[in-house]
Structure 1
């Protein structure tokens, strides 16, 4: 028997499918949903002639694991284990999607920890995962949600945002199977949250209407004009990432891995730019220092703040603080 993973015949077919797609539907992509270790997903990229992109399933739970433990070690390990892929291919990174937060690519001990920390109620668990949205998973804490998104937007790959997470939608664990994270998008506080003109009883799933995440409170219309809203924050991350080529196409290298595991620090670098991404995973302030390739002005890409550095960067990160720093090149 076979589990049908990485069969030669599969790759032969994928190459044919890719050729047909490129010829008849240019500009489209093939996205690989292979829930495997990164070295096992690598063959699905072929020589750049099979899938364009592939989900990085093992990286996702390790973002949550690192944040809860206040230790970047598991994230460092999985990214160091991730092989190079063809130049015309890309990984897809994500925090949540339309299914459960899958815990297949972790050890049984790590799965038990994730369930205990993020899904203490049995109904929050499904299969080998957790059926919760991003905001409830992170206790609706803006610092934790921001930290998770900053990691998502700076790790190698193209980030994917699950609908509703950009505004902090909640979930309904009383619904069947995975439907609890598939409730109607909350566009406004009106009838059916602006999702549909159908009679409310005809919606495919009921609206989220609890005290904390109700569509009357959490919706696009109320957040759109507010510069301090979660939607505005997400838009800012998208804009800043697009404006800075190092975050999109730059190489990736850990900075001082293992020296202070509570700080996830790495460089994204391309010919035009060097960006240092810093993430304090702990609930305590953490010092950070590193030598720079040259003296000059360090710019915080998120706040616009500038720091004059004399060949050495020294700063203190507040609890759960994150910074994107453009270094003098």
Structure 2
């Protein structure tokens, strides 16, 4: 199905998250780079990707994989140059795809020249680029996000003679958005990258931009006012580009980030993600049904983004304490599998490397309302390495072949930025693009099929959403996606037992199985099917 011109492109797109350092090394230094990504664009095009999301490529000490920025106006030399980036954008657009990059508003690296100038001179104009205090008791109602590494949101600096504020690592001081110069600087950063041709930004950690005493310093009115300013700037100067919101909040708290269609174009649906895993493990759709029923309507020009995994831990912030304990017990029995309030595992290990469960989760990803995002390597079933620091275990080199360095790099193995996955069941010798590309029944080709089928089904891309018989059989997640031209019934058996399903139809005709034409069947009055354990079906109704 070609994209419909009267529907915004981002509402029809399949996104793909790429860590440049992890994707492909073109110059043999052990680190992925922009030219390496360029060499692999045909792979992404064939997969069916519409838009690539790049994690930060800015100059950085890489204490937080690039989210600690030392220069907003350049590229980390290990990755290439601004000219390389321009070439990448051109190559992406030539293939009919789009590209967005990370915009990290909330904080910089402590190595950024702004912060270094602020430390050196209290009278420097850059001192007011950051948030300072003589006490570490201000904003005491703000939660600590990185519980495993940070004991406070304040860190004392001897040179500065004050505490500075940081919502994440102490190496990432927060910018002071009460300062008009900071707000103007971020508009300049946006202009710089948009002028290079990118199609928008995934905007990092937006709930935390402003601080106010007596609040939890999240989702403040001042934050929304500034974000609307960013949107006006983009709409006025770069129509057709997008802002994607990263706000790890409950659905009703994310809803204001869409505004009246005048703030963010898109937002991640964080709470639905852990509930997909919870529902599959419990064999019960109740938690997923509840969170989607709790999700408020959003403006017509806005869109949710759905995902199963990404570069961070599988966050369990937006679940109840009881649900968090359940998820840790079921999915992270070993202490090293846990990080902060989450789980540092990839998709395949989380789901026991069971193709039925992985397929089931992906079916939910591609049929629930919203635009799906695939994390690099999940389409082939990559594993993880929980022995690596922090979240690095889910950021290992992409596995292209079963040969030297998984085809990722020609460097000596000890020079790779991270070790390859070589565990039983996930070794790069067996789990790689080359091997799966030639196997019609592989996970890679299955993912391609899901994407291509979704693109050809207008109901799955832009149709309405209605639960079918919610709660009648807790083991089933059944819903109808419908447009004027098509109705698709998405059925998911979340349990390890066969489940019957019956549904009255007002039309007689043939029910088409969109994933397997051999399973088409006639129907008159009532649709009846039996779903095998963890089976899912996409049924186009007559």
TM-score bracket relative to the smaller structure: over 0.9
Question: For residue 77 of structure 2, what is the aligned residue in structure 1?
Answer: none
Distance 1:197 1:26 in 2: 42
| CA distance in structure 2 between the partners assigned to 1:64 and 1:217 by the alignment | 26
Is it true that 1:113 corresponds to 2:322 in the alignment?
no
User: What residue in structure 1 maps to residue 287 of structure 2?
Assistant: 74
When Rg is computed on C-alpha atoms for both structures, the one with the higher figure is 2
- Over 3 Å counting, the alpha-carbon distance change for 1:23 and 1:221 in structure 2 is farther
Name 2:313's counterpart in structure 1.
Answer: 100
What is the alpha-carbon root mean square deviation over aligned residues? Answer: 1.1
CA displacement, residues 172-226 of structure 1 (integer Å, 9 cap, x when unaligned): 0000000000001111122222223333222221111122211111111111121
**CA contact under 8 A between 1:267 and 1:277: conserved in structure 2?**
yes
- Residue 537 of structure 2 is matched in structure 1 by 323
CA distance in structure 2 between the partners assigned to 1:289 and 1:210 by the alignment: 43
CA distance, structure 1, for counterparts of residue 375 and residue 349 of structure 2 = 14
Write out aligned runs for 1:173-322 (5 A): 173-304=386-517, 305-322=519-536
1:28 Cα deviation after fit: 2.6
**1:149-160 paired onto structure 2 within 5 Å:** 149-160=362-373
Gaps of 5+ in 1: none
Give 1:90 deviation, angstroms.
0.5
Offset at 1:258? 1.2
* Cα separation, 2, equivalents of 1:131 and 1:293: 47
Q: Unaligned stretches of 5+ in structure 2?
A: 1-212
Match of 1:169 among 382, 385, 395: 382
Secondary structure of 1:136's counterpart equals helix
Question: In 2, Cα distance between the equivalents of 1:214 and 1:316?
Answer: 36
Point out the more displaced range, 65-74 or 197-206.
197-206
Distance 1:84 1:198 in 2: 50
3-state SS, counterpart of residue 424 of structure 2 = coil
**Which residue does the alignment assign to 2:140?**
none
Q: Deviations over 1:247-300 (max 9, x none)?
A: 011010000111111111000011110000000111111111010121111000
Q: 1:139-193: per-residue Cα shift (whole Å, max 9, x none)?
A: 1000000001111111111111111000000000000000000001111122222
Q: Contact 1:296 / 1:311 at 8 angstroms: preserved in 2?
A: no
> So what's the TM-score if we normalise by structure 1?
0.97
Q: Which runs of 4+ in 1 moved over 4 A?
A: none
Question: In the aligned structure 2, how far is the partner of 1:21 from the partner of 1:220?
Answer: 38
Contact 1:38/1:82, CA 8 A, preserved across alignment: yes
What is aligned with 1:123?
A: 336
Q: Provide the C-alpha distance between the structure 1 equivalents of 2:314 and 2:485, rounded to a whole number of angstroms.
A: 36
1:55 paired residue number: 268
2:253 counterpart of 1:36:
no
In the TM superposition, residue 73 of structure 1 has moved relative to its aligned partner by 0.5
